[in-house]
Structure 1
Amino acid sequence: MYTTLTLPTVIKTTRQFKSAYLKREVELEIFSPENLFGNERVNLLLLNDGQDLAQMDMENMLSELYEKWKIEPTVVIGIKAGNDRVLEYGVAGKPDFKKRGSKAQAYTDFVIKELLPYVQSEVDVTINGRRAFAGFSLGGLTAFDITWNNDNYFDAVGVFSGSFWWRKKDLGAGYTDDDRILHQMIRDTKTNPAVKFWLMTGTNDELADRNHNFIIDSIDDTIDVVKELMKKGYKRPHDIFYYEMVGGKHEVATWAKAMPAFLTWAFAK
């Protein structure tokens, strides 16, 4: 247990580096724990859409969780999206019906081959604990895809209002639920990645209800992800945590309210 003298201090820095895979400069917001003894376990969280972390007040959020002894020291890396967000985010190698996500493989290569080595070499503390990847909306879909296919690098994934609708056919082109790309990816994977899952939606995430079952699509799609995971043998709540926020919307303010619950789930002391 921390004492008031040994609470981690959150230090925020901004870094930029040129990605060969994305062919652009990537801006990062890094929240590092300082004032450590040196023998602590230090975790890592990568967050897509890092441009939203200022609105979430991530620096104070982490400080409050440390003060309440809720989480272990954790390095948080906010990856700011570029102008090609809807091309870089998605399921790698499987663009949707509008060809969005055509650069998702390049984004995966950036995360695995450039960003993770950069973090290990540039962050002052040694990351020796759990590693998680999380994101919001389309960034959450991307985090799931990368974590699912790279469980040798990540232990957990957090998806806030994930774009699990990601599909290969438009609704007016003979679409069925079997056209959802990520659900099919889960079914087609032969082995079970060693990953734990934290998924959330808000009851006011959207209004769309394509199957007219009086449940909005974002909830339907997320619950169907949970069902696919359970078919493969993952268990609730040990492997899967699903959080449905009453009144939650598809917006940063909702995700900010949910973030402490995710951080505590992923990095509890």
Structure 2
Amino acid sequence: MLRILPLFDYFLRKGICWIMYSGAMLLPEVVKTECIFKSVHLKRDVELEFFIPEGLMGNETLNLLLLNDGQDTDGLCLQETLNNLYQTYKIEPLVVVAIKASVDRLQEYGVAGNPDYLGRGTKASVYTDFIIKELLPFIQGEVDFPINGKRVFAGFSLGGLTAFDIAWNNDNYFDAVGVFSGAFWWRKKDLKDGYTDEDRILHQCIRNTAAKPDLKFWLMTGTEDEKADRNKNFIIDSIDDSIDVIKELLIKGYKRPEDIAYYEMVGGKHDIQTWGKAMFPFLIWAFGRKPQV
């Protein structure tokens, strides 16, 4: 079991004095712990990284963030970003669980039940079952204190599309979703085979969902995410596809900025360095500290 050290236990073991600021405790360093989970649904070992702040007292509201493509946390500078945000009192306590992708990533990621035109994403339903039926119960069993705050799922590129799809269809488990340079182009027909925008799978799933999931959305693109411009409107496809997701959400009844945040990074590329920079505003959006009264 992963240990979140209670205040006095941490005090005795580290021999340090806590600094109080505006009635709140100064959180110490974030501890990274790695573990392997044997998944029944995926039929493989899943490598996980936990990022947890030491010294929690147990009476805080504790939030959760799941990250797809968790193998990239070093490149994202995730631990350093979390420490910076805690030390400047910008975010509430949270457990981050980074899920490392396997060699079967292109099959496990995608839209559940809707493979793309190349047959990718055939195991997306199985990956969904892993997240909901195995990983979430496992996480709570590994953390000493109840995860009683927000539950957010985020990812990058195809991992972002996957996070959106899982949260969209399981809003009883998640409160918000974050998508960095999402693969919203995911389509059932190739461009050379008479593709139209109606062939985008996620957009159609949003339209076809009768209910309005109780979620909030943070979408990010970079102005240099790609160069493709299939409709020749001088706007790259990744931005067009993300804006069209927002349009579908607005039609569904969501509102901006209450429910939807869109962050377009000037000069941002489709890479880990860009997403690492975007992680800072995303974490503040998702887990920002409420002003002291």
TM-score (ref. length: structure 2): 0.90
Equivalent of residue 44 in structure 1, options 32, 43, 64: 64
Q: For residues 234 and 33 of structure 1, what CA distance do their matches in structure 2 show?
A: 33
Match in the other structure for 1:232: 252
Match in the other structure for 1:114: 134
Match in the other structure for 2:35: 15
Displacement of 1:124 after TM fit?
A: 2.5
Contact 2:181/2:220 (CA < 8 Å) preserved in 1? yes
Match in the other structure for 1:263: 283
SS at 1:210's partner residue? Answer: coil
Match in the other structure for 1:103: 123
Q: For residues 6 and 36 of structure 1, what CA distance do their matches in structure 2 show?
A: 10
Which structure 2 residue ranges, 5 or more long, are not aligned? 1-18
Q: For residues 38 and 201 of structure 1, what CA distance do their matches in structure 2 show?
A: 37
Q: Provide, for residues 152-204 of structure 1, a one-character-per-residue CA deviation record: whole Å limited to 9, x for no partner.
A: 00000000000000000000111100000000000000010000000000000
1:75 corresponds to which letter in structure 2? V
Equivalent of residue 173 in structure 2, options 141, 153, 156: 153
Equivalent of residue 159 in structure 2, options 134, 139, 144: 139
Equivalent of residue 93 in structure 1, options 103, 110, 113: 113
1:264 corresponds to which letter in structure 2? I
Match in the other structure for 1:27: 47
Q: For residues 150 and 115 of structure 1, what CA distance do their matches in structure 2 show?
A: 14
2:192 corresponds to which letter in structure 1? G
Q: Provide, for residues 182-238 of structure 1, a one-character-per-residue CA deviation record: whole Å limited to 9, x for no partner.
A: 000000000100000000000000000000000000000000000000001100000
Match in the other structure for 2:265: 245
Displacement of 1:50 after TM fit?
A: 0.2
State the superposition RMSD in angstroms: 1.2
Identity %: 68
SS at 1:127's partner residue? Answer: coil
Displacement of 1:7 after TM fit?
A: 1.6
Contact 1:8/1:73 (CA < 8 Å) preserved in 2? no
Q: Provide, for residues 59-103 of structure 1, a one-character-per-residue CA deviation record: whole Å limited to 9, x for no partner.
A: 111111001110000100000000000000000000000010000
Match in the other structure for 1:202: 222
Distance 1:82 1:2, change over 3 A: farther
2:112 corresponds to which letter in structure 1? A
Question: Given the alignment of the two structures, is residue 63 of structure 1 paired with residue 83 of structure 2, yes or no?
Answer: yes
Q: For residues 92 and 130 of structure 2, what CA distance do their matches in structure 1 show?
A: 27
Q: For residues 254 and 57 of structure 1, what CA distance do their matches in structure 2 show?
A: 11
Question: Given the alignment of the two structures, is residue 182 of structure 1 paired with residue 202 of structure 2, yes or no?
Answer: yes
Displacement of 1:5 after TM fit?
A: 5.4
1:182 corresponds to which letter in structure 2? L
Q: For residues 113 and 62 of structure 1, what CA distance do their matches in structure 2 show?
A: 28
Which structure 1 residue ranges, 5 or more long, are not aligned? none
Q: For residues 253 and 150 of structure 1, what CA distance do their matches in structure 2 show?
A: 30
Displacement of 1:123 after TM fit?
A: 1.8
Displacement of 1:2 after TM fit?
A: 5.9
1:58 corresponds to which letter in structure 2? L
Displacement of 1:133 after TM fit?
A: 0.1
